[in-house]
Amino acid sequence: KNNMSSKIQIVRTISDLRSKISYWRKNRLSIGLVPTMGALHDGHFSLVKRSINTTDKTVVTLFVNPKQFGQNDDLTIYPRDEVGDIAALDAQGVDLLFIPSLEEMYPTDFATEISVPVIGDVMEGVFRPGFFVGVATVVAKLLIQSLPDKAFFGEKDLQQLYVIKKMVIDLDMPVEIIGCPIIRELDGLAFSSRNVYLSADERARAVELYKVLNEIAESAMNGEQIPILVEKAEKRLIGSGFTKIDYLAVCNTHNFKEIDYLEAPTYALGAVWLGETRLIDNIQIC
Ligand code: AMP
């Protein structure tokens, strides 16, 4: 693809989205979908690149989904940069950008909710009640609206990726869900739209989460007892200025229940607070 000559198309209604995509489908082109909430960074762009490399037409969605924010969450201050996002996606060679309004996605009488119990009830599900229902509902809508062959999600939100995989299997949605590796800043902090909330001092401390997850993985592989090494890691986080730990745990991806033994695929996961900012991250242990 010649990025210089690319011209992204923007649609804001479901019917315009459908007519563009059905034209491509009729011409037997494969469709890749990358759902985002905007304020795009290199993590998002890695999903976009993967889609462009593996499908004929790439559709990105930009929608800050209120249903996945709780009462005390950061919905009103969530970073938004529509103009910057459009320019960046155009430069990447994205074919179509869907930017629906709130009313387009959720008319006032909107009622349906999709919940994925068990896998969605632990970890993030405990600390962000309603979060996975909000995510599953909006992702189901986006998948049905665009009917892609493949949809791309980051392992940064590992539990979310598996909740979506489960939903797609349970609802017989004919789409392949592709998990993509976490993209990190130079020091190791995972890219996140929320990183802009961090003060300079918090930003410097933030990388400690990644370091602690690595330490957990290394010690666990060396045979150290998991509950003991997790406790050590929590102390280290608090010692480096983290203000609250929602969870720091070793989990498998079958059900995201905390485990004290290693059985692949197993991950170290953390959700921690630096002042007003909540950071999540994970790394695979085995
Ligand atoms: P968001 O806009 O935060 O809802 O994220 C949109 C998609 O980008 C989700 O599938 C995320 O998992 C993914 N994503 C966010 N940050 C990263 C990252 N640092 N590396 C890889 N994927 C990411």
Q: Which of 32, 39, 41, 44 is catalytic?
A: 44
pLDDT at residue 1 greater than cutoff 90? no
Residue owning the nearest CA to atom 15 of ligand 1: 43
Contact 131, 68 (CB under 8 A): yes
- Residue 59 pLDDT > 60: yes
Q: Is the CB–ligand 1 distance for residue 85 below 6 Å? A: no
Nearest atom (ligand 1) to Cα of 39: 2
Tell me: the pLDDT tens digits for 144-175?
A: 999 999 999 999 999 999 999 999 999 999 99
The atom number, within ligand 1, closest to the CA of 190 reads: 19
* Mean pLDDT for the stretch of residues 80-103: 98
Average pLDDT estimate for 273-281: 97
Residue 21: its pLDDT value, please?
98
Is the pLDDT reported for residue 181 higher than 60? yes
Within 10 angstroms of residue 96's Cβ, the number of other Cβ atoms is 22
> Dihedral of CA 84/91/44/56: which sign?
positive
Tens of pLDDT, residues 96-146: 999 999 999 999 999 999 999 999 999 999 999 999 999 999 999 999 999
Average confidence (pLDDT) over 41-57:
98
pLDDT, residue 5, reads: 59
| Spatial contact of 196 and 79, defined as CB atoms under 8 Å apart | yes
Find the 225 Cα to ligand 1 centroid distance in Å. 32
Predicted local confidence at residue 47, as pLDDT: 99
44 Cβ below 6 A of ligand 1: yes
Instruction: Please state, in angstroms and rounded to a whole number, the distance separating the CA atoms of residues 222 and 262.
Output: 11
Q: What is the DSSP string of 216-254?
A: HHHHHHTT--HHHHHHHHHHHHHHTT--EEEEEEEEETT
Measuring from atom 11 of ligand 1, which residue has the nearest CA? 154
Of 209, 207, 232, give the one whose Cα is nearest residue 219. 232
C-alpha of residue 44 to centroid of ligand 1, in Å:
5
Those residues with Cβ within 8 angstroms of residue 129's Cβ, 6 or more apart along the chain or in another chain = 70
Token pair 């791309």 is found at 152
pLDDT of 4 reads 56
Whole-number Å distance, alpha carbon 224 to ligand 1 midpoint, is 32
Does pLDDT of 6 surpass 80?
no
> For the chain, what is the mean pLDDT?
97
The pLDDT tens digits for 208-244 are 999 999 999 999 999 999 999 999 999 999 999 999 9
Alpha helices in 27-174 (DSSP H): 42-54, 82-92, 102-105, 124-127, 131-146, 158-170
Cβ proximity of 99 and 82 under 8 Å: yes
Q: pLDDT tens, 20-39?
A: 999 999 999 999 999 999 99
Encoding tokens for residue 55? 């499908």
pLDDT for 156 equals 98
pLDDT above 60 for 3: no
Has 254 been annotated as catalytic?
A: no
Residue 213 Cβ contacting ligand 1 at under 6 Å:
no
